[in-house]
Amino acid sequence: MSGFMQTAFFFGYMACVCFGFFLMLGTIGWRASLLFVRHIYKAIKCE
């Protein structure tokens, strides 16, 4: 890899890919924790 534009394009593209993974994995983790908390609170019996 030589030249400023190739380097900038590579790092820009990788930043976009990393941000996409950040959003995807964050969404999966948030949804999993939400479903877990809902499941736990449904199991509580208030008698």
Q: Where are the domains of the chain?
A: 18-47
What is the pLDDT, as a whole number, of residue 47?
63
- Could you give the 3-state DSSP secondary structure of residue 45? coil
What is the pLDDT, as a whole number, of residue 2?
78
What is the pLDDT, as a whole number, of residue 46?
73
The predicted-structure confidence for 2-39, as pLDDT tens digits, reads as follows 789 999 999 999 999 999 999 999 999 999 999 999 99
What is the pLDDT, as a whole number, of residue 15?
98
Q: What is the largest CA-CA distance in the chain?
A: 71
Distance CA 20, CA 2 (A): 26
What is the pLDDT, as a whole number, of residue 41?
92
Predicted structure pTM score: 0.68
Distance CA 7, CA 14 (A): 11
Phi-psi region of 3 (alpha: psi -120 to 50; beta: other; left: phi over 0): left
